[in-house]
Amino acid sequence: MYTEKVMDHFEHPRNVGEIENASGTGTVGNAKCGDIMRIYLDIDDDQIIRDVKFKTFGCGAAVATSSMATELIKGKSVQEAMAVTNKAVCEALDGLPPVKVHCSLLAEEAIHAALWDYATKHGIEISGLQKPKSDIGEEEVEEDY
């Protein structure tokens, strides 16, 4: 059901991890729906994305799109990162099954959320960037295991 590229990025995800004191962090998605993506950006003074890491709770497509999205923006300027759309992520993975296309949308939103965090923290305006919907609906489950 998945392309070879999707399986490759799922099996060997690029840029998994956290960045301490990241320039910007964005978390999108919803545990209820089964997808949460978090992207960490390390951006230098020239607004170049020096490093990027991600963490994802979700299906194979969610992991693969996060991985591909980080690859597409690494080393790019924040403005270039803005141009990375869900379509671009999809295409770079040689396509996704129709029911999984929303995962690529989540990847785009995660990048935007991290850029927004960076822009607000640093008082920078990035053209075309809008405030992300903060929809991480994680309720604390107080159940003992």
Partner 1 sequence: MWHDTDVIRKAVAIMKRTIYLDNAATTKVHPLVVEAMLPYFTEHYGNPSSIYGLAAPAKQGIEEARATIAGALGAKTQDIYFTGGGSEADNWAIKASAEFMASRGKHIITSKIEHHAVLHTCEYLEGKGYEVTYLDVDENGLVRLEDLRGAIRPDTILISIMFANNEIGTIQPIGEIGEIAKSHGILFHTDAVQAFGHVPIDVDALHIDMLSASGHKINGPKGVGFLFIRTGVKIRSFIHGGAQERKRRAGTENVPGIVGFGKATELAMATMGERSAKEIAMRDYLISRILHEVPFVRLNGDPVKRLPNNVNVAFRFIEGESLLIKLDFAGICGSSGSACTSGSLDPSHVLLAIGLPHEIAHGSLRLTLSEENTMEDMDYVVGQIKEIVAYLRGMSPLYEDYAKKHPEKIG
Q: Which residues are catalytic?
A: 33, 103
74 near 49, Cβ under 8 Å? yes
Least distance in Å: CB of 62 to partner 1? 7
Residues with Cβ within 8 Å of 83's Cβ and at least 6 positions away in sequence, in order, are none
Indicate whether 75 belongs to the interface with partner 1 (CB under 8 A).
no
Q: Does 124 engage in binding with partner 1 (CB under 8 A)?
A: no
Binding residue for partner 1, selected from 19, 62, 68, 114, defined by CB under 8 A: 62
In degrees, rounded to 5, the angle at the alpha carbon of residue 109 between the alpha carbons of residues 105 and 115 is 150
Distances (CA, A) of 24 to 17, 57, 72, 134: 14, 19, 17, 15
Q: Is 11 in the site for partner 1 (CB under 8 A)?
A: yes
The DSSP secondary-structure symbol of 103 reads: H
58 lies in the site for partner 1, by CB under 8 A: yes
In whole angstroms, give the CA distance from residue 134 to residue 136: 6
Residue from 49, 52, 63, 107 touching partner 1 (CB under 8 A): that is 63
Which has the closest alpha carbon to 39: 94, 116, 93? 116
Is 13 a binding residue for partner 1 by CB under 8 A? The answer is: yes
Nearer to partner 1, 13 or 132 (CB): 13
Binding-site size for partner 1 (CB under 8 A) equals 32
Footprint of partner 1 (CB under 8 A):
7, 10-11, 13, 16, 18, 27, 31-38, 54-63, 99-100, 138-139, 141, 143, 145
